[in-house]
Amino acid sequence: MRIVTRPTTEASVLGGTIVLAEPACQHRPARPVSPWAGEEGTAGRVAVVGAGKMGLPLAAQFASHGWDVVAVDVNEEVVAGINAGRSHVGEEPRLAALVAEVHAAGRLRATSDGAAAAREADVVVLIVPVMLDEARQPDYRHMDAAVAVIAPGVHRGMTVVFETTLPVGDTRNRFAPALEATSSLAAELDFFVAFSPERLYSGAVFANLSTYPKLVGGIGPASTDRAARFYASVLDAEVVAMSSAEAAELSKLAETTYRDVNIAFANELARYADRVGVDLTEVIRAANSQPYSHLHQPGIGVGGHCIPVYPHFLLSRAPEMGLVARSREVNDGQVEIAVSAVRQALGSLDGAPVLVLGLTYRHGVKELAYSRALPLIERLAAEGARVTANDPLLSASETERLGVAPWTWGTPSDARAIVVQTADPSFASLEPAWFPALEVLVDGRNSLADLALPERVLVVGIGSPRRGGAPGA
């Protein structure tokens, strides 16, 4: 059992993507026990509340280490699929095979009855969304509902762990009291409550689970110890037992907000690089050759469930964090940079045909959460542009449901402008012959530097020198 009080693994701080080698599993087959009390080498029953793109991989991971797992979800189709041994999350490597394997072994099932699942469980892990409301404050609707569902099943000796990212203090001050009120039991004395943030990247979940240190902080030492023992039994990465739930909550907000601030700095550098005619890609590569520099990449904006959301969790409790607030403004403002580039190149957007490539928040991930394509399309349409769009992950009908006309790959288009919103590799195979009227391409992810286009087409990157275009463009 590998539980430490501070991380012992140190990744290289050289700039660029850090890929850690996955260790071989060191766990011996676990001995099933009931009730489970944290003894090394034993496994009990765990309920995973929220069987989405992160919850289902967690459930499969726990089951692969000998735990009896029930996945809880409000979607009956998801429940039925899991009970048939199928994964509804199609883009996660290894997941479908692992779900089928642990289901066949009798260690994974699903239900929509959260209270019953909690009554049978030694551990309950909650991983349901907490997003933002219209005022950019935390929206607790789903988490409050999930807590209310499991609360009647809370019993002595149970451990409840929140993996959903939360504002600092919520584990102790919002959710533990709610569990106590319904159960009439005392947290830390009768049952245990902890926070342990998921630190997962879509498309690499199982690699992340085996390499990234698992942070665990309870509302008291007993809760920390019991939750840390659980994760040590199901993960091959080291488990970091932190001083409190608040320390673990802030750690997750810090690591995510760091990326937002870093990207905002890169975007501001890009604006300056554009002004002085310097290629920021070259600059970042050079700066990051110094081990303490890890500049991120500029772009058309930041999407997804995490980076656009969690800085606001910090601001909801610490509005004085001006740097955080400014970073959100900078990154959200990148859409206007792209729209302005098209407007300047075409003279007017009124009636102009514009093609947007990439609708998901990131290439390779079929997820629209806070995708910058949506406000981009709205802004273009608001100025009169006739917008079409294509994303290799979305069907024509799915594209239409977003309120934009689909463009079929490889067919002739009258687009005078193309705005690239994701760095999907397929976009590098665009054929200029498909776009006889094309005047400008806004490369929103700096991913098409090698794309050959007619000299008449102006190519505008983010912090990279413009190329092509008519004289004076």
Indicate which residues carry an active-site annotation: 252, 306
If you write DSSP's letter for every residue of 207-219 in order, what string do you get? Answer: HHHHHS-EEEEES
CA distances from 263 to 270, 320, 328, 343, 404 (A): 10, 20, 10, 25, 28
Q: CA–CA separation, 361 vs 391, rounded Å?
A: 11
The torsion of the CA quartet 332, 336, 338, 344, rounded to 10 degrees, works out to -170
Angle (deg, nearest 10), helices 176-183 and 141-150:
30
Q: CA–CA separation, 342 vs 340, rounded Å?
A: 5
Beta bridge partners of 405: 388
Question: What does the block give as tokens for 46?
Answer: 């765990």
Biggest distance spanned by C-alpha atoms of the chain: 77
Q: CA–CA separation, 364 vs 392, rounded Å?
A: 9
Nearest alpha carbon to residue 56 among 124, 110, 120:
110
Residue reference for tokens 């019991």 = 226
Q: CA–CA separation, 335 vs 354, rounded Å?
A: 14
CA distances from 85 to 32, 78, 120, 423 (A): 22, 11, 21, 33
Question: What does the block give as tokens for 382?
Answer: 């608001």
Residue 384 backbone class (left: φ over 0; alpha: ψ -120 to 50; beta: rest): left
End-to-end alpha carbon distance in the chain: 64
